[in-house]
Amino acid sequence: MRGMDYVVKRTVFALVTVFVAITLNFILFRALPGNAVTGLRCGHCTKQFRESIVKQYGLDKSKWQQYVIYIERLAHGDLGTSTSDNRPVWDDIKQPLVNTMPMVIAGTVFSIVVGIISGVVAAWRRGTAADSANLWTALAFYAMPTQWIGLLVIFYIAIPLGLPASGISSNTLGILSTPSEWSVLSDRFSHMFLPALTLGVGLYGEYSLVVRSSMLETLGEDYVLTARAKGLRNWVIVWRHALRNAMLPLVTLIALSLGSIVAGAIVVEDVFSYPGIGLATIQAIDQRDYPVLQGIFLILTLSVILANFIADLVYFKLDPRVTT
């Protein structure tokens, strides 16, 4: 039952991490000098108004009480109220989250697919010009700041080809007549294409290099030699025998790079004015809307923890030998 032990261990770790993240979130925003009120753009409001706000946010209570209240509210799904538009934080960030998801997923899937294919080809054709060309391209894209790739994409792809490079849908769509579902969908897709491409290009380099070195290792294994001795075709050896085992490090890497995926998504949305969670973050920063910023940070952290947890389980499924 060591397997169950592993699952239990990872679950406990994920839960404790969630708790740590919540606490960190509280400390960063509440326990430090400079609270939501001093951050409020309220240079000339009256003392009474200040006090009422202090009361409204519960800042007059002790830190410990505030912490307990914060956790209680979170348990009820209450992320607080935005200071810029007085709406519940969750309402403010729900739509951006929904917008972000397909873009990030498309970009990540793109980077994984390109990373695997280029990595496998490079490993199979090791030492050739194709290998070193892939190595340097992957390295270069890895080293480029994502927002810069985005600017280059707008400059060299979007403008010459006339592809949409800003927003999530055309302003003109639906003015003259109710658009068909198909045209709405294709409009959405065309607006999502370049941000997802940018994100994918920024991420694939790391995956490609890891797949390559991991493939090189498995290609040297005895079972690959056996497969070759059996006279199997090259692609069967690569895809069925070698790649499956070479995928393990990639799973770990994807889990570890979730942070960079989130980071990439934030700046990509800024470059393309894509109304997702990244743009919401930037608006919250500009408006000093701490409750919204706090909510976004919590949501992003929780999704990364959750995805990490899933990766742990996937890894266990792929390789039952892991027990720690």
Partner 1 sequence: MSELIQLVDAPVPEEETKRRGIVREVLLGQRVAMIGLGILIFFTFVAIFAPWLEPYSTTQQVGPVYAPPSAQHLLGLDDGGIDMLSEVIAGARVSMLVGFSAAAVAMVLGGSIGLLSGYFGNKTDIVLMRITDYFLVIPDVPLMIVAAAVFGRSLVNIILIIGLIYWTSTARLIRAQVKSVRERVYVKRARALGGGHSRLVWKHITPQVAPLLVANTVLTIAIAIFAETYISFLGLGDPSTISWGRLIQNSLTGGAVFHKAWWAIIPPGLCVTIVILAATMMGQAMEDALNPRLRVGHLSVRRFRLRPLRGRLDSE
Residue numbers at the binding site for partner 1 (CB under 8 A)? 13, 16-17, 20-21, 24, 28-29, 32, 34, 123, 126-127, 135, 138-140, 142-145, 147-148, 151-152, 154-155, 159, 205-206, 209-210, 212-217, 219-220, 248-249, 252-253, 256-260, 262-263, 266-267, 270-271, 281-282, 285-286, 288, 290, 293-294, 296-297, 300-301, 304-305, 308
- As given in the structure block, the two tokens for residue 278 are 């990244």
What residues form DSSP beta bridges with 81?
A: 88
CA distances from 293 to 81, 93, 152, 300 (A): 11, 10, 29, 11
Tokens 């709405």 found at? 184
Q: How far is the CB of 208 from partner 1 (least distance, A)?
A: 9
Residue 220 C-beta: closest distance to partner 1, Å: 4
- Considering the complex, state which of residue 53 and residue 263 has its C-beta at the smaller distance from partner 1: 263
Nearer to partner 1, 52 or 166 (CB): 166
Distance, in Å, from the CA atom of 136 to the CA atom of 72, rounded to the nearest integer, reads 51
**What does residue 100 show for φ and ψ, rounded to 5 degrees?**
-70, -40
Tell me the closest approach of the beta carbon of residue 187 to partner 1, in angstroms: 22
Minimum CB distance to partner 1, residue 230 (Å): 20
Number of neighbouring beta carbons within 10 Å of residue 172: 9
Residue 119 · residue 211 · CB < 8 Å:
yes
Q: Which is nearer to partner 1, 184 or 193 (CB)?
A: 193
Here the tokens at position 42 are 């309220």
Query: Mutual orientation of helices 129-143 and 181-219 as an angle, nearest 10°?
Result: 120
Q: Is 88 helix (H, G, I), strand (E, B) or coil?
A: strand
Which is closer to partner 1, CB of 147 or CB of 183? 147
* Residues 138 and 258: beta-carbon distance below 8 Å: no
Closest CB 28 distance from partner 1, rounded Å: 6
124 vs 196, which CB is nearer to partner 1?
Answer: 124
For the CB of residue 183, give the shortest distance to partner 1 in the complex, in Å.
Answer: 27
Q: Which is nearer to partner 1, 137 or 170 (CB)?
A: 137
